[in-house]
Structure 1
Amino acid sequence: MNHAKPLPGYLVTRYQGWKATGYAENQHWYRRLAEEGQRPRAMVISCCDSRVHVTSIFGADQGEFFIHRNIANLVPPYAPDGDHHGTSAAIEYAVTALKVSHLIVLGHSQCGGVQGCIDMAKGNAPHLEAKTSFVGRWMEILKPKFEQVADIQDPVEQARRFERQAVVASLENLMTFPFIDSAVQARELSLHGLWTDIGEGDLEYYDAVQDRFLAV
């Protein structure tokens, strides 16, 4: 393997700064985490989007959240078919091994993955329809939900509504996992759906009774 290169200089500088300050000031906490292992209270499934910073939104420290990120914060249905399932594996570990008490799905505004799914549904993304597109095949998880927003004429509002549908779809798919269903029924685990506006810093939660998102 001769393709891996050293870190770019700016990252080396940032690391050295963190080691000299952030780590040095909290080294006892880091060592405790290393020695005692992790005990996160919650798992967060969020988008890969670099603008979504889960720990900043909640002011969380190391060890508080078990975080999994993927395109459009999606959870696939339960499918133990022997194939690779990174998201499902992370969920299984969080719920059955770490015994998290809360599982949070966090969607966001201006989601590129959700917009790609809209383009697919409208027949405007042949590159995503190709069988070789990993993004396209992944977004098929969400595509059936497009009918919920198909009649919305304003493209901005349509996208924002569909971003919320991505959260709902993931919550629904989570309940297809037997170990999640049993943990929820036993009141050992609670599911939460959130959506954040990147530009405004707003946060909404999904109210299952009203079937709508409300301001936190």
Structure 2
Amino acid sequence: MQDFPAFLIEGYKNFMSGRYTAERDRYRELAENGQKPTTMVIACCDSRAAPETIFDSGPGQLFVLRNVANLVPPFGPDGTFHATSAAIEFAVVHLKVAHIIVMGHGRCGGITGALATAGGHAPEGHFIGKWLTMVKDVADKVEANHLLTPSERQTALERIAIRQSIGNLLSFPFVKERVDQNQLSLHGAWFDISGGELWTMNGESGDFVRPDLESIQMR
């Protein structure tokens, strides 16, 4: 067996002497009493877009699910393995989170793969291509729009996929029930890796806008 990556051991060493030491009581409380996050974030696996870093969150604050292109499948309990659906069920039914945020990001490799598939160049592999069929219909339409540049098609599908995933969340009966009872709110967000910009989705129009950080700081 190969040695564990040295840079991770070094990072752990820094964690123990830094953040863990500063938040030791918080970690012990979480260990003894369990987690009670109010917010679930469904994000991409991309190493450049970690929700805990972007939202500067501490231990126990966010329940994070990450998959390729931050996609949510429609509700379908067919007896096969459903990691994403299981995590959603755990967050909503057992942790009783008050918010679910679907957060996409710029330059998403999964979305690039979906557009490439629409253009006749599906990514190689046993699993990714099948996973990305969830956005096939909208990817085909976006890829066919030649009034858009490639980068505009990329951003468009990244954001459309977020809206579609929120729609798919509502196909889960336990999600829909809690949303209708105002016990759960669904949100969309898009993070631009290059400029560090966060765009949030307007729940009524579906448009993405940048939050006014100055007004938030004044509260």
TM-score normalised by the shorter chain: which range applies?
over 0.9
* Runs of 4+ with >6 A deviation: none
**What is the rounded CA distance, in whole Å, between the counterparts of 1:8 and 1:146 in structure 2?**
38
Identify the match of residue 144 of structure 1 among 121, 137, 146: 137
Matched residue SS, 2:18: helix
Matched, 1:193 2:184: no
Give the structure-1-normalised TM-score: 0.92
Unaligned runs of 5+ in 2: 212-219
Identify the match of residue 134 of structure 1 among 127, 134, 143: 127
**CA shift for structure 1 position 147:** 4.5
CA offsets 1:152-210 (integer angstroms, 9 cap, x no match): 43001010111001101110100000000000000000000111111111111222422
Q: Which moved more, 1:198-207 or 1:140-149?
A: 140-149
For 2:133, give the aligned amino acid.
E
**What is the rounded CA distance, in whole Å, between the counterparts of 1:109 and 1:172 in structure 2?**
21
Q: Which residue of 2 aligns with 1:62?
A: 59
Q: Which residue of 2 aligns with 1:88?
A: 85
8 Å contact 1:72–1:113 — kept in the other structure?
yes
Identify the match of residue 38 of structure 1 among 35, 39, 55: 35
Matched, 1:182 2:177: yes
For 1:109, give the aligned amino acid.
G
**What is the rounded CA distance, in whole Å, between the counterparts of 1:138 and 1:211 in structure 2?**
24
**CA shift for structure 1 position 12:** 1.3
CA offsets 1:61-109 (integer angstroms, 9 cap, x no match): 1100000000000000000000000000000000000000000000000
For 2:54, give the aligned amino acid.
I
Compute the RMSD of aligned alpha carbons: 1.4
Q: Which residue of 2 aligns with 1:49?
A: 46
**What is the rounded CA distance, in whole Å, between the counterparts of 1:13 and 1:111 in structure 2?**
29
For 1:62, give the aligned amino acid.
P
Q: Which moved more, 1:11-20 or 1:65-74?
A: 11-20
Matched, 1:106 2:113: no
8 Å contact 1:145–1:169 — kept in the other structure?
no
Matched, 1:159 2:154: yes
Matched residue SS, 1:163: helix
Correspondences of 1:70-85 after superposition (within 5 Å): 70-85=67-82
8 Å contact 2:198–2:210 — kept in the other structure?
yes
8 Å contact 1:45–1:68 — kept in the other structure?
yes
CA offsets 1:109-139 (integer angstroms, 9 cap, x no match): 00000000001011122x44xxx52000000
Q: Which moved more, 1:149-158 or 1:31-40?
A: 149-158
Correspondences of 1:119-130 after superposition (within 5 Å): 119-125=116-122, 127-128=123-124
**What is the rounded CA distance, in whole Å, between the counterparts of 1:44 and 1:12 in structure 2?**
27
**What is the rounded CA distance, in whole Å, between the counterparts of 1:202 and 1:43 in structure 2?**
20
**What is the rounded CA distance, in whole Å, between the counterparts of 1:172 and 1:197 in structure 2?**
23
